[in-house]
Amino acid sequence: MPSGWMHGTVDLIAWGWPYLDLHVWKDEPSRWLGRRHRVERHDWYWNYGKLWTARQPLPDWMQDNIRGMDDPWFADEFMAGLTHDEWDRLWNGFAPVKRRQAEAFFASVLLSPRALREWAGVDVVNGRILRELQGRKWWEDCPDLPAAYARLVRYAEITWRMQGRHPLGSTLRAIRRRGPSRP
């Protein structure tokens, strides 16, 4: 299964917020069920091939349901929960080398505030999220974002330390020597 930091990074890219508590909650059963933890809190995972596929991860009826939600933050978090299960399902099909490549990609994006701002539209330094609706774009202030981002980075670093490896290995050491990219 992808680590919680990867789920949070996917959310940060897609919705501008890491939803780390959601992912910790969804994967909490792994503490007592191990790899079988998806029998709890992963309903969308088990509906693969029935309600969704890799080619159609969000069917039209689900998109309509999400569009009908009054609170956009609730809708984003709901989609983050679906995406969590989708990533878990896709992860099962990845060869070990593909998993390492995915981890390296997401780690490189997570550790680059510039990439997050310029590529994903998430300004983790100044607390802003680039929103788009009906062709109109604007920066939405999100003052809690820098702290949520810092928490996600700490969570990732603790995970890497516990695993005894870092997805970027020597690349991270070079970044630390020269300093991270700045916006």
Q: Model-level pTM?
A: 0.87
pLDDT reported for residue 67: 93
The least confident of 29-38, 82-91, 113-122 is: 29-38
Mean pLDDT of 153-175: 78
Residue 116 has pLDDT above 70, yes or no: yes
Q: What is the pLDDT of residues 80-102, one digit of tens each?
A: 999 999 999 999 999 988 888 89
Q: What is the pLDDT of residues 40-83, one digit of tens each?
A: 989 999 999 999 999 999 999 999 999 999 999 999 999 999 99
**How are strands ordered across the β-sheet holding 128-133?**
122-123, 128-133, 136-141
